[in-house]
Amino acid sequence: MNSKFGALWDGTFRRAVQACVEARGEGRPGRIRRVTCGAGAVTFLLSGSAWADMCANSGSANFNYTSGNVLSNCGLWGSGDIIGDLPAVGIWNAMGSGTTQIVASTTQKKLAFSPGTYIATMTDSVNGGVLLSGIAAGLSGRDAINVGQFSPMVAALGGGASLNATTGAVTGPSYALASTNLIAGTSGAAGDIGTGFSKVDAALGALNTSVANNTTSVANITNQLNNGGVGLVQLDGVLGTVTVAKNSVGATVDISGITGTRTLAGLTNGLVNGASTQAVNGSQLFALSGSAAAALGGGAAVGIDGTIALPTFTVGGLPVNNVGDALSNIDARTTQNLVDIGDISAQINIGAIGLVRQDPLTRKITVAGASDGATVDFTGLAGARTLMGLADGAVNGGSTEAVNGSQLFAVSSSAAAALGGGSSVDANGLVTMPAYSLGGQSVQGVEAAFANIDGRTTQNTTDISTINTQISDGTIGLVQQDVASRVITVAKDTDGAVVDFTGSAGARTLMGVANGAVNGGSNEAVNGSQLFAASASAAAALGGGSSVDINGLVTMPTYTLNGQPVQGVEAAFTNLDGRTIQNTGDITNNTAAINNITNQINNGTVGLVQQDPATRTITVGKDAHGSVVDFSGSGGARTLMGVANGSVNGGSTEAVNGSQLFATANSAAAALGGGASVDANGLVTMPTYTLNGQSVQGVEAAFTNLDGRTTQNTTDISTINTQISNGTIGLVQQDAVSRVITVAKSTDGTVVDFTGMGGARTLTGVANGAVDSASKQAVNGSQLHGLANSTAAALGGGSSVDANGAVSQPAYTLSGQSVQGVEAAFTNLDGRTSQNTSNISNLQVNVANNTAAIEKNTTDIADITTQINSGTVGLVQQDPVSRKITVAQNANGTVVDVTGSEGTRTVTGVSAGTLSADSTEAVNGSQLWTTNQQIADITSRVQNFAGGGSGTVIAAQTNDTPAVASGTDSTAIGNGANASGNNAVALGSGSVADQDNTVSIGAQGKERRVTNVAPGVNGTDAVNMNQLGAMQNSVNTVARQAFAGVAAAMAMPNLTPSAPGKTVVAVGVGNYKGYTAVGLGGTYRSENNRWLVNGAASITPHGDTGVRGQVGYEF
């Protein structure tokens, strides 16, 4: 058929035939074609007399395509175009020949077209749609598409969008957007892409605001963390209490560091009761260890490491090292006792075993006649009896001997003696509590004694800390510092005249010395800068380039005399003296010349000394070389008088006069102090200083005095530091030989307190302390854990140490049941042992009574054996006359089970049973074999049939491969077609329909196209390529808009102004998956720096715009 038929057909049989009729003349104009109908086809053909008559009579008529009339000559047969439901003709045969274009059947509810065209899906008011299968991929706009084309498009939607492989239904996408909902404060999934991107856009806006707010919040949290106001560890500002995670859950506080676990020290005794959650310390551990060891018994004791040594119980003559093994041993033996008691009961009944026996021949009864015995049980009806006259039993690890009262008293006495403190054994054999005299007070009990010593030790620690603090603060010791004046004194309250700073490497430098007073009464130390100043003034006075070298020494001056350098003052004077002598001779020789120029000299017009007639300035050798003016004469140096005060500054070359030098000398004398003054010659007299009560002449002697004493002070201070470092002085000391560290050993006090400003401190590096009754050594965490472990090991029964260090309750398996705890285990064993004792006693009483009964039972058993052998008693019996064997004929029940301990059994010797409708007889193997042979023959015949089930099979030719319709209500048409799915249709050669409710027109690799498919309208209609292309375009459009929307959201700027009252305007650009958008935004910060106002807009290349506004308040 062509596309016109496809366009007219609406999915019903009636309209299918109408469409075929209206398609007259197409493809075969003018030819007469046959319409064959059956009675069943009347339900779907159009009304009309010709059609009605034909269908009612199960006849056929010729149809003229040109005129559209139904001709009356029904005898003209030819190639048919329409075949209705006419069973007699075999309506499906024509499809195989390829001459029939349409086959319609209301019986099969199928509409098919001849091979080479296509299959159309049909529905009616009763049957739903049938899937089209085997469809090739559509190419043109009106072609049908297959699931293979549609599935990728559905998968591309993401969000869980899927195509149901069974029903063909499309599940739409659902985008969870959990993070987006969390950010934007929304909920629910997005059912389409547009809604999803709208949510993402809203979330991005919320995220921008959150980032700005988070910046402020982070700063606030930082301050709170620093102040201890937030976080897991907080500090109460009023109480000073430090809490850890007080407002959060969690059961563990882990103080481990990167190098492992840490010790928690400074721990007071924690409460020990059922409701206590307080930590316990080493002393409490020792008390627990002692009590646990005492409770365990068996020689259990507390070792030096704080662990409990395994006890040794003698159970059944064998040593057992924990309670669990002991109880297991006793339990196993008790359980075995129960078995043995049962066996003994039976044997006692016949008098074969036991203390009470009966000889089978003589019938003589004996009591313990053939056994010895070393145990005597004195228990009577009224309970246990006192065993008196008992000798001392051996007391050792392997002893099983009983001990008497005197031995127990001796043990108690030794325990009391070990405790000391007046402990003794009272009338009940109990050890009384000792009383110790500690610190002048009576203390009751070991625990109280430890608490007393611990308190005093803690006090010692506090005193030591106080001394250390006082030494650090400079309030005690040789070197102290006044709290108010901050003056540091050295040995102010002791005698001695020297402070020696010398160390093992020699003298030390005393630094930080302020300028000392320099006068006659000063005993203050002078520093290097003062000494340098004195040396510098001396060097300056010498001139000639004299200076102070790095060692503080004044270097030798160098003078230029007569153009030659002269080293030192002495050499300079020698030089000048020689030249003066020479000058004297020259003057004598030149007297005449001198007289000639005397007038000129007097007038100041010639000579080295001249006077300017205008300015009256006197110059000396102004026109000559030389750097020295020497006034010395034959009588020696001369006085230069009338010298005005010369300038005294760094650049001055003017001469100074006597008054200026006197002033300088006076100031130097004043600076030196110590009575220094300027004598008649202008020299500074030597000062005299009083140092340490003694008079010292001169600065050098004063420095020597001070240096010696300072050196001594340095030595003394070094000695004190060495002694403190070596632990030979102070509260905390260490013996030089034994290296034992003591705390306040020479002072009183009972407490060493490690508590600091923040509370108790951890004492780490604690070695394993001795754990015994007299030990006062601290124990560490590992010892506590070892004690707990040893206790758990001694208890056995799966007892272990939990995360809190507590020993879990053991669980013992006694008589196949789990018993919790040692007490319950002993109670269990005691009860069972008492019951065993009672049972044995009852057995002894009943033995005599059972003897006669046993003899009668023997006779009865022999009689029953004979009856069973003859088949007269029991469930299986045999009639003595008919010899018929019956099974439980007098009992109820509907099953006879012959299964044994090794599984099912074979019943042999079965005669052939009657095979009838009412037969209840068993059949044997030969009968079943005959039946199997018959079934095999039938199966072979069925397999040779080319169809099966309720399906319909139509093959093209007789010799072709048969079509197979094995599914329920399935149909297979064509050479080798196979419809194995229920209600499935396989149409065409090689078509396969192996899924339920499908129509297949091909197979994998042999697909066929369904062409000329009209656009689908209803939910179960097929869609064509035009519809698929339109949907793909829609998806592409949504994707483009979504990607552009993301780019628009990204392009919106959100920058923050740097200061109050500022506004930031920014331009942004965003690109997402190749789509670009630009944005413009502005942000204003208020003058009070509290408010932020932001607005932004963006636009995409498609003209879509987005806007955003934000207001934030910071507090």
**Cα–Cα distance measured from residue 825 to residue 812, given in angstroms and rounded to the nearest whole number:** 7
Token pair 């937030």 in the structure block, residue: 230
Give the model's pLDDT for residue 897.
62
The pLDDT of 282-298, averaged and rounded, is 69
Strands 811-814, 817-820: pairing kind: antiparallel
**Is pLDDT at 191 greater than 80 in this prediction?**
no
Give the model's pLDDT for residue 833.
66
**Cα–Cα distance measured from residue 50 to residue 736, given in angstroms and rounded to the nearest whole number:** 137
Token couple for 293 = 């060891």
Give the model's pLDDT for residue 858.
47
Weakest mean pLDDT among 508-512, 553-557, 811-815, 1098-1102? 508-512
Give the model's pLDDT for residue 54.
41
Give the model's pLDDT for residue 4.
30
| 1047 against 167, higher pLDDT | 1047
Give the model's pLDDT for residue 1078.
92
The pLDDT of 384-407, averaged and rounded, is 52
Q: What is the CA radius of gyration of the chain?
A: 63
| Cα–Cα nearest to 138, from 1023, 1034, 1021, 1017 | 1023
Token pair 């500074």 in the structure block, residue: 684
Amino acid 519 reads N
Per-residue three-class SS string for 759-773: ECCCCCCCCCCCCCC
| Cα–Cα nearest to 327, from 835, 813, 832 | 813
Give the model's pLDDT for residue 938.
42
Q: Do residues 545 and 554 lie in contact, with contact meaning Cβ atoms separated by under 8 Å? A: no
List CB contacts of 35: < 8 A, sequence separation 6 or more.
54, 60, 61, 62, 63, 70, 80, 81, 82, 84
**Cα–Cα distance measured from residue 981 to residue 130, given in angstroms and rounded to the nearest whole number:** 12
Give the model's pLDDT for residue 18.
45
**Cα–Cα distance measured from residue 829 to residue 834, given in angstroms and rounded to the nearest whole number:** 8
Strands, E, within 808-907: which ranges? 811-814, 817-820, 876-878, 885-887
Give the model's pLDDT for residue 394.
57
pLDDT tens digits, one per residue of 987-1019: 888 889 899 988 888 888 888 887 887 888 887
Percentage of residues in the chain having pLDDT higher than 70: 34
Q: Do residues 594 and 612 lie in contact, with contact meaning Cβ atoms separated by under 8 Å? A: no
**Is pLDDT at 158 greater than 70 in this prediction?**
yes
**Is pLDDT at 734 greater than 60 in this prediction?**
yes
Give the model's pLDDT for residue 341.
64
Q: In this structure, what are the phi and psi dihedrals at residue 796, rounded to the nearest 5 degrees?
A: 65, -155
Angle (deg, nearest 10), helices 282-296 and 446-473: 160
The pLDDT of 595-606, averaged and rounded, is 61
Cα dist from 197 to 55, 207, 834, 934, whole Å: 62, 15, 82, 72
pLDDT tens digits, one per residue of 740-794: 666 556 655 555 444 445 555 555 555 666 666 555 655 566 666 676 677 677 6
Give the model's pLDDT for residue 45.
41
Q: Do residues 746 and 460 lie in contact, with contact meaning Cβ atoms separated by under 8 Å? A: no
Angle (deg, nearest 10), helices 323-349 and 822-870: 30
Angle among Cα 244, 248, 249 to the nearest 5 degrees reads 110
| 3-class secondary structure, 327 | helix
| Cα–Cα nearest to 474, from 747, 709, 717 | 717
- In the chain, the domains with their CATH numbers are 3-129 (no CATH), 1043-1113 (3.30.1300.30)
Weakest mean pLDDT among 269-283, 471-485, 581-595? 581-595
With residues binned 3-state (H G I as helix, E B as strand, rest as coil), the percentages for the chain, rounded to 5, are: 35, 15, 50
| 104 against 880, higher pLDDT | 880
DSSP state of 436: E
The pLDDT of 463-481, averaged and rounded, is 69
Amino acid 894 reads T
Q: Do residues 491 and 705 lie in contact, with contact meaning Cβ atoms separated by under 8 Å? A: no
pLDDT tens digits, one per residue of 675-689: 878 788 767 788 787
Angle (deg, nearest 10), helices 1025-1051 and 147-156: 10
**Is pLDDT at 450 greater than 50 in this prediction?**
yes
The stretches of 366-493 forming alpha helices (DSSP H) are 405-419, 446-473
Q: In this structure, what are the phi and psi dihedrals at residue 226, rounded to the nearest 5 degrees?
A: -65, -30
**Position 19 confidence tier, pLDDT thresholds 50, 70, 90:** very low
**Cα–Cα distance measured from residue 426 to residue 421, given in angstroms and rounded to the nearest whole number:** 15
**Cα–Cα distance measured from residue 718 to residue 701, given in angstroms and rounded to the nearest whole number:** 25
DSSP state of 31: -
**Cα–Cα distance measured from residue 11 to residue 1019, given in angstroms and rounded to the nearest whole number:** 13
**Cα–Cα distance measured from residue 218 to residue 60, given in angstroms and rounded to the nearest whole number:** 93
Weakest mean pLDDT among 283-292, 565-574, 879-888, 1073-1082? 879-888
Provide long-range contacts, Cβ within 8 A and 24+ apart, for 680-684: 682/658
Amino acid 705 reads N
pLDDT tens digits, one per residue of 937-957: 544 433 433 444 455 554 445
| Cα–Cα nearest to 708, from 496, 495, 497, 498 | 498
In sequence order, what are the beta bridge partners of 567?
558
Strands, E, within 202-261: which ranges? 233-235, 242-244
Q: Do residues 1063 and 1082 lie in contact, with contact meaning Cβ atoms separated by under 8 Å? A: yes
Give the model's pLDDT for residue 302.
74
| 1023 against 350, higher pLDDT | 1023
**Position 457 confidence tier, pLDDT thresholds 50, 70, 90:** low
Max avg pLDDT among 6-15, 149-158, 758-767, 1064-1073: 1064-1073
The pLDDT of 846-859, averaged and rounded, is 49
Max avg pLDDT among 599-608, 612-621, 627-636, 1089-1098: 1089-1098
**Position 1084 confidence tier, pLDDT thresholds 50, 70, 90:** very high
Token pair 């297991």 in the structure block, residue: 328
**What one-character-per-residue DSSP string does 576-645 give?**
HHHHHHHHHHHHHHTHHHHHHHHHHHHHTSSSSEEE-TTT--EEESTTS--S-----BTTB-----SPPP
Round to the nearest angstrom and report the end-to-end CA distance of the chain: 80
List CB contacts of 781: < 8 A, sequence separation 6 or more.
261, 263, 264
DSSP state of 544: T
Mean pLDDT of the chain: 64
The pLDDT of 1051-1077, averaged and rounded, is 89
| 389 against 1097, higher pLDDT | 1097
| 71 against 1066, higher pLDDT | 1066
**Cα–Cα distance measured from residue 55 to residue 216, given in angstroms and rounded to the nearest whole number:** 90
Weakest mean pLDDT among 22-31, 814-823, 874-883? 22-31
**Cα–Cα distance measured from residue 286 to residue 778, given in angstroms and rounded to the nearest whole number:** 10
List CB contacts of 119: < 8 A, sequence separation 6 or more.
112, 113, 132, 134, 985, 987, 988, 999, 1001, 1010
pLDDT tens digits, one per residue of 526-546: 566 766 776 676 667 667 787
Token couple for 452 = 């007393």
List CB contacts of 525: < 8 A, sequence separation 6 or more.
510, 513, 516, 703, 706, 710
**Position 1073 confidence tier, pLDDT thresholds 50, 70, 90:** confident
Give the model's pLDDT for residue 101.
46
**Is pLDDT at 803 greater than 80 in this prediction?**
no
